[in-house]
Chain A
Amino acid sequence: MGQSIAATGLTHNPAHRRSALSTRVTRLQNGVGAWLFLLPAVAFFVGYQVYPLIRVLWISFTDYQFLTNEPAHWVWFRNYAEALSDPLMWASLWRATYFTILFLPGTIVLPLLLAILVDRVTQPRLATLYRVVLLIPAVIPSTLVFVLWKWMYNFQTGPINHFLVDVTGLFTQQDAPQWLGGTALTLPAIAVMEVWWGLGYHTIFFLAGLAAIPKDLPEAARIDGASEWQVFWHVTRPRLAPVMMILVVLRFGSAMAVIDEYLIFGGFNRETPTYTWTMFMYDEAFKTGLWRQGFGAAIGMIGAVAMMIVVVFLLRIFRPRD
């Protein structure tokens, strides 16, 4: 349809109107005009993303503290040396990794399973209904998801403990699980919440990947006597690999850098499992003492670089092998 519109548009406008000179002038005007259109995006991108990152890198080499009038000094790698020799840095990096290990498999495998099931629903109305309900959590803003699950996990009045204590009697009011507040259960509890949140959104991702596979491929495999599992493993899975790569890399990134959830569910106790490198950075930069932002910036940089190393590694693993 788009092509036909384009064709009629051209026939109305004879090409001889354009001369070489006017083409050159318009091209120059275009160059300026194009950048005018691009300018707001670039301004925000540079002002609030590129510059801040460079600035943080700079700060991380100084002994900058926010709540003091003393000028900052350039200290080279002293912040990095201090952070790397602090066992808390390593513990906090491990905690973030542990959360990622808890979260990542569920948030890939469950949506994949669901997508394969929903993909086979042929009644158009049901298929739409399923998709819409699946996507509802994705349109609930982050903080509201956390508030919701803060209730679900509430020790006394939360429905989960109500179910475990009053309905099934598996626990008593005394030994009921304490989900939130930085206990050993907090990270698994947050992981379950995150899987719930991303379930539908990731399913839609996989559904789009499945829709791109020609239907006769799995059909042909079935006629050749392949089992459903073989069809999935040899036909569907390789073709979903690009979608899966994007999801794994993006979710790895968001899981390692979680902070809002820990601020809401955890707190600033350095011994608790929710005190990850992001919390360590936040604590040093905005909570403790004179706000040692130079040290905090170094912690943030160490965390980010550690993540980037894994991302590059993941991109290499999933690189298409042709």
Chain B
Amino acid sequence: MSEAVHGASFAPATVGVRKRRKSWLAQNRGAIVRHAVIILFLVIILVPLAWVGIMSIKSLPDAMRGNFWPKRFDFTHYSYIFEKIATLPRNLFNSIYVTAGTVFGTTAIAVMAGYALVHLKPRGGPFVIAALLVSLYFPVRVVSLISIYEIQHFLDLINSTTGLILPYITLNLAISVLIMRSMFQLVPHELFEAAKIDGAGPWRTLILIGLPMVRNGLVVVFIVNFVTAWGEFLLCTTLTNDQDARTLPVVLAGAQGGLGQWSWPNIAAVYVIVVTPGIIAFIFAQRLFFKGLAEGVIKG
């Protein structure tokens, strides 16, 4: 902008508007191309999502036709899916339940571990950190599946929705602990020392002084674990057999699109219901999320 104004001020006043506009275009050609390329990518990101959103309010004939914009809208799919797909409320509840358990479980565990690793300096701490780091590079999730099944079978947790929370907590444990560790490294040690001398125990210190200081990291850990637990497929499909026990995304992945209760607009409506909460939560938390990402993930 300032460049354009600057350039224009050199042009003699007698030169017509047309020429000045041309020089603005010429001077900002780089910026225009840059924004155009970025916007092209944003469109590529958004089009599939928009397509599903519109699909969920299309009438059935329009859904089969494939045009982007329907001839007739139909908003009844949202009520239909809750009335006609018997297990849907159950699956939605399962998703919320498993995700909440996983997110709160992992976050609490990661905060405690991160705090301890940085400020309580336990013996063997560096070894724990090294082990967590190595696990990030090993395909643990896939390779350990056979014995995870065995453990769950031993604990009588096959086909149990609650049982899923245990392996789910472990899925992102390493990265969550490492994020919280680098967050706590940003908190000056003297702060915790001072609290201790004032007579606060380690729990009080952590909750009253530590937590507010690592807020941004908490948001990142929350979102990362939410995304994993909400959409987990492999463990859920392996460790449960009944549609009743499964989470909604897994049921959705198994649904064959066509007619009847799983017609395309119905699937799309279910899809919108499961995908929107995460996106909205992210948009609201994005400032904290980006800060946390910069502090915890990239430096760590």
Contact = CB atoms under 8 A, between A and B. Distances in A.
Given A35-B122, A140-B275, A196-B44, A250 B136 contact: yes
Nearest to A165: B66
Nearest to A6: B190
B144 interface: yes
B168 to A, nearest CB: 9
Interface string A228-269: 000000000000000100000110010011011001100000
Interface string B137-155: 1111111111111110000
Interface string B86-108: 00000000000000000000001
A185 interface: no
A142 B238 contact: no
Interface in B265-282: 267, 271, 274-275, 278-279, 281-282
A9 B191 contact: yes
B198 to A, nearest CB: 7
A289 interface: no
Interface string A11-35: 0110001100000001000110111
B75 interface: no
A133 interface: yes
A133 B173 contact: no
Contacts of B116: 34-35, 37-38
B293 to A, nearest CB: 7
A182 interface: no
A53 B144 contact: yes
A5 B42 contact: no
B233 interface: yes
B101 to A, nearest CB: 13
A139 B143 CA distance: 26
A68 to B, nearest CB: 14
Interface in A280-315: 281-282, 285-286, 293, 296-297, 300-301, 303-304, 307-308, 311
Given A3-B188, A12-B194, A297-B146, A143 B250 contact: yes
Nearest to A208: B298
A33 B51 CA distance: 53
Q: Which of A2, A143, A162, A285 has the most CB of B within 10 A?
A: A143
Interface in A59-77: 59, 66
A42 B112 CA distance: 11
Contacts of B41: 110, 114, 134, 199
A88 interface: no
Given A17-B197, A42-B128, A144-B271, A200 B112 contact: no
A34 B109 CA distance: 13
Contact of B234 (A7, A144, A263): A263
B214 interface: no
A136 B137 contact: no
Contacts of B151: 47-48, 51-52
A55 B110 contact: no
B234 A41 contact: no
Given A297-B146, A300-B142, A13 B197 contact: yes
Chain A interface, >50% SS class: helix
Contacts of A152: 48, 51
Contacts of B170: 44-45, 47-49
Nearest to A41: B113
A269 B92 CA distance: 32
B249 A33 contact: no
Nearest to A294: B146
A204 interface: yes
B149 to A, nearest CB: 7
Given A49-B135, A147-B253, A139 B142 contact: no
A319 B120 CA distance: 32
Given A3-B188, A53-B143, A148-B271, 20 more contacts: A6-B190, A35-B116, A37-B122, A41-B112, A44-B166, A44-B170, A48-B167, A52-B144, A56-B146, A110-B41, A133-B46, A141-B230, A147-B249, A259-B234, A263-B234, A281-B143, A286-B238, A300-B143, A304-B139, A304-B143
Interface of A: 2-3, 5-7, 9-10, 12-13, 17-18, 26, 30-31, 33-35, 37-38, 40-42, 44-45, 47-53, 55-56, 59, 66, 110, 113-114, 117-118, 120-121, 126, 128, 130-152, 154, 157-159, 162, 166, 196, 199-200, 204-205, 208-209, 211, 243, 249-250, 253, 256-257, 259-260, 263-264, 278, 281-282, 285-286, 293, 296-297, 300-301, 303-304, 307-308, 311
The 5 closest A-B pairs by CB, nearest first: A141-B231, A9-B194, A34-B120, A34-B122, A37-B116
